[in-house]
Amino acid sequence: MTKVIKNDRTEGQLTRRSFLQSAMWMSGAVATGLGSWVFPAKWSHAAGPIKVGIATDLTGPIAFGGIPCSRIAKLAIDQINDNGGILGRPLEMYLEDTASNEQIAVGVVRKLVQRNRVDVVLGGITSSMRNAIKDIIVGRGRTLYIYPQLYEGRECTPNLFCTGPTPAQQCDDLIPWLIANGGKRFALPSANYVWPHVLNEYARKSIEDNGGEVVLEEYYPLDQVEYGATVKKIMDEKVDVVFNTVIPPGLGPFIKQLYEGGFLKRGGRLSCVYYDENALNINSPQEMEGLASCLDYFQNIEDPFSAELQAAYQKRHAHKDKVLFSAGSGSTGMYRGVKLWEAAVTEAGAVDRDSVAAALDHAKIANGPGGPSNMVPGTYHCQMNMYIAVAKGGKYEIISKADQVHPKECG
């Protein structure tokens, strides 16, 4: 996945460790030393509690994603516990902060897997984080791992299940819509790392299959903020649609320079598949007018369960710190992951990795953010509803909905 960075002026406060510890949702968390926390089980059972490990970025640039992920996980676990747990056993949540730093992450995930011996690990947001911790969990740790964030696909490791959107889910409906509502000439300005490379391969094929043409595909270092050359090429080549995978810190300046270059004025269409409600704060509304995004969830979709979930989240977290429950943060995939896992454990009747993995392979949930979700057997990925939304005046307008889009991975 990407590194979407939110630009919020009050951010400094919310990610400071002390704030975390005093935050209401952390009350009930017990420090177990070495920087670890656990939310202890509320009742006891002969077989002991089921241990759920959450390893996510609570501090650092990816905290805007890690914090809602951990909160929604806690919400989901509390809901499960309120309904009697799984198999009569209570769930205990072990929380570790991977701090947006792969080196630290390796150490803390080791704690979860070796010291706490959790039964499942959910977490990781960026692909580099997933890559850093997956072997410790799945290989050396022989534990199940669920990865909740939208990403580039091609992760077909056994016992590693992905509950976030794949390129196919994000592009299959979006690209035809872009061609119909933007034009045929595409530019793919991208950050230079794995997610854009792989996504662009899929996007290019989809664009060409739908009669479009890619006139520009370029990769930039992550901290590049000078896009004069790119904007010039986009204007010269009469590009209709800019399918952007530049991420912060370059994102804000790029969108701004593109706007200043006159792209939108000329009728160009912007598109960015990781844009969610958080990203709306990065540029001014006129710079992003008409930007099209395709995600598994937006806050204003019409789905009663999603609305309830959003309300429950907001009730707990009072929307003070603007760290939103949104699709770009991975929190929608996190909720989906917890519930699918719950379904799998219930079906398997056991908590050991192999039984649960076998059940998770075909698990289904009827209610999730954005709609129901079904695992596609043998592929480690799941179907979900996908929505196309366009930014208008700084807010999203939902354009279309596609039901149960197939992830097309590992098949």
Partner 1 sequence: MTILNRVAGARPGTSGRLSRLLIIELVLLALFALMPLLLGSIWSEDDSFFWIVFTTKVLILSLFGLSFDLAWGYAGLMSFGQALFFGGAGYVVAVMSRDLGISSIFIVLPVAIVVGLVLAMLLAAFLLSGSRTPSIIFIAFGTLTGSYAAERLARAWYYLGGQNGVSVTKALTIGDMPLYEGVGFYYLAFGLLVVVYIGCRFLVRSQFGLVLAGIREREERITFLGYKVQLTRAIVFILSGAIAGLGGGLYAFHEGFVWPALMGPIYSTQAMLYVMLGGVSTLIGPVIGVTAIEFATIILIDYLRDFWIIILGVLLLLVIMFRRTGLVGVLVSERERIGSFRWRGANRKSDSRSD
Partner 2 sequence: MEGAFQVLFNILSFTSIMVLVVLGLGVIASMMGIFNFAHGEFLLLGGYTAYLFDIWGLPVWLGIAAAPFVVGFVGVVLERTIIHRFYAAPIVAMLGTYAIGLIIRESVRGLISGMYLRVPEPLVGMFSVGDISVSKWRVAVIVITILVVTGSYILLNRTSFGLRVRASLENPELARASGISTSQIYAATFAFGAALAGLAGAMMVPLFSLYADMGLRFLIQGFLAVMLGGIGTFEGPVLGGGVIGAMTAGLPHMVNPILADVLVFVIAIVLVKMKPMGLLAKGRK
- Residues of the shown chain interacting with partner 2 in the complex, contacts defined by CB under 8 A: 5, 7, 9, 11-12, 15-16, 59-61, 63, 100, 192, 218-221, 223-226, 228-229, 232, 235-236, 248-249, 252-253, 260, 282
Q: Least Å distance between CB 322 and partner 2? A: 13
| Residue nearer to partner 1 on the CB measure, 140 or 266 | 140
Say how far apart CA 337 and CA 378 lie, in whole Å: 17
Q: Please list every residue from 136 through 155 that binds partner 1, using CB under 8 A.
A: 136, 139-140
Strand (E) positions, 69-179?
91-97, 120-123, 144-147, 160-162
Supply 8's token pair. Answer: 């919020």
Note whether 221 binds partner 1 by CB under 8 A.
Answer: yes
Strand partners, 245: 190
Q: Least Å distance between CB 235 and partner 2? A: 8
Single out the segment in contact with partner 1 by CB under 8 A; choices: 32-40, 161-169, 180-188, 387-395: 32-40
Can you tell me which of 71, 111, 204, 256 binds partner 1, judged by CB under 8 A?
Answer: 111
Contact indicator for 152, 198 with CB cutoff of 8 Å: yes
Can you tell me which of 8, 25, 26, 35 binds partner 1, judged by CB under 8 A?
Answer: 35
Distances, alpha carbon 316 to alpha carbons 25, 220, 275, 303, 394, in Å: 7, 40, 25, 20, 26
Q: Least Å distance between CB 313 and partner 1? A: 27
Q: Least Å distance between CB 195 and partner 1? A: 8
Say how far apart CA 360 and CA 388 lie, in whole Å: 28
With tokens 């011996």, the residue in question is 117
Could you say which of partner 2, partner 1, none residue 253 binds, taking C-beta under 5 to 8 angstroms by partner kind? partner 2
Strand (E) positions, 62-212?
91-97, 120-123, 144-147, 160-162, 185-191
With tokens 């149960």, the residue in question is 404
Can you tell me which of 23, 87, 106, 312 binds partner 1, judged by CB under 8 A?
Answer: 106
Listed residue (337, 335, 316) closest to 27, CA to CA: 316
Listed residue (249, 255, 246, 240) closest to 287, CA to CA: 255
* Helix 304-317 vs helix 63-82: crossing angle, to nearest 10: 110
Q: Least Å distance between CB 56 and partner 2? A: 15
| Residue nearer to partner 2 on the CB measure, 126 or 143 | 126
Q: Least Å distance between CB 7 and partner 2? A: 5
Could you say which of partner 1, partner 2, none residue 226 binds, taking C-beta under 5 to 8 angstroms by partner kind? partner 2
The footprint of partner 1 (CB under 8 A) covers 16-17, 31, 33-35, 99, 102-103, 106-107, 110-111, 114-117, 127-128, 131-136, 139-140, 192-194, 197, 219, 221-222
